[in-house]
Amino acid sequence: MRTLTVDLAERSYPIHIGSGLLTQNQLFAPHIVGRKVAIVSNTTVAPLYLRQLREALSDYEVSEIILPDGESYKNWETLQLIFDGLLADKHDRKTTLIALGGGVIGDMTGFAAACYQRGVNFIQVPTTLLSQVDSSVGGKTGINHPLGKNMVGAFYQPQAVIIDIETLHTLAVRELSAGLAEVIKYGLICDEPFLTWLEQHMVSICALDPFALMETIERSCAAKALVVSADERESGVRATLNLGHTFGHAIETEQGYGVWLHGEAVSAGTVMALEMSKQLGWLTEKQRDRGIGLLARAGLPIVPPKAMTAAMFLAHMSVDKKVLDGQLRLVLLRALGQALVTSDYPAATLDSVLNADYSMITANI
């Protein structure tokens, strides 16, 4: 097992990464304050892993809240099902919520924990690669709105993140690839040597080699923990973690939540950010293509939806959370491994990027 720490003074918490962690009571016990625990999961994950987790928590009064599976259910109606379950089982302020599932379950459970009786403890147990390397760490919680992704939520940190890499063996190939979009992001924004390592080990990662998975998850979590520790509420450097997300969220919202997986949309959005960085003269064509090539090797889409027009992108991007005082800020790359957040770019460049023929740009990747 490997352990990292998200350093937030008195609210610091550990990230445990290893095999077979779901059954290890000693990892959960220090973060459970009362006798009652509510496990929130979904109809896909619960049949696979709920029994193991319940056995590890046999010393506690455990209730289960099982939600429908999918991004399309990340909404007010499904969030209410969590509150319904907590109230029906008379959970109090010493209750601990445990999120057992991917990013949707983690985000909604965290948001429910932030709201229920004005705040109760929760533990993240992410079961997808994307949630293990990204959404479970950092305290971003929330739900989607029909007009924008993750527009309603709260910053609310977990007590611990417990990552059992064995859960990846039941993950669909498409979901594994979606997680790799966030992994590759870390190399692009702040760790160019990690890009080289990923290029060398992508085959092993996709084959679920334990060493490759542990290294991938640890390096990704370490990068995110460092950024979150420096900027918990995204007032500065943390926004660089959103490389590709402004374009990607527009794709998710326009296409309908769940049609494109989050990581798939982020991948296509990252290609657009790479292209814009190239058009601004910050990246060479070779550097742009290096990033695109790694996304392609991970099995990710590298061409945005052909039916999406520039007007469609702009309509959704105008309500992005990085818009300040009417200015659309984008995460771009000054160099591979060096990201920035800026609204200082020619409107003509953004228009060119939104209207580019990505089939031609990626033809030789």
**Residues noted as catalytic:** 118, 140, 182, 224, 234, 238, 242, 245, 249, 262
Instruction: Using alpha carbons, list the distances in angstroms from residue 336 to 110, 187, 193, 291, 340.
Output: 33, 8, 10, 8, 11
d(CA 212, CA 155): 31
Q: How many CB atoms lie within 10 A of CB 257?
A: 18
d(CA 64, CA 292): 42
Whether 20 and 26 have beta carbons less than 8 Å apart is answered as no
Q: Which amino acid is at 45?
A: V
Read off the tokens for 304. Answer: 């945005």
Kindly give the pairing relationship between strand 121-126 and strand 148-155. Answer: unpaired
Which alpha helices (DSSP H) does the chain contain, by range? Answer: 25-28, 46-56, 76-88, 103-115, 129-130, 173-190, 192-206, 210-230, 245-255, 262-279, 285-297, 310-317, 347-354, 358-361
Three-state SS for 338? strand
Return the closest-CA partner of residue 100 out of 176, 34, 23, 156: 23
Sign of the C-alpha dihedral, residues 198, 199, 204, 207? positive
Kindly give the pairing relationship between strand 96-101 and strand 36-42. Answer: parallel
Return the closest-CA partner of residue 163 out of 126, 206, 209: 126
Sign of the C-alpha dihedral, residues 269, 273, 279, 285? negative
How many CA atoms within 13 Å lie on the side-chain side of 322? 26
Phi and psi angles of residue 96, each rounded to the nearest 5 degrees, phi first: -115, 125
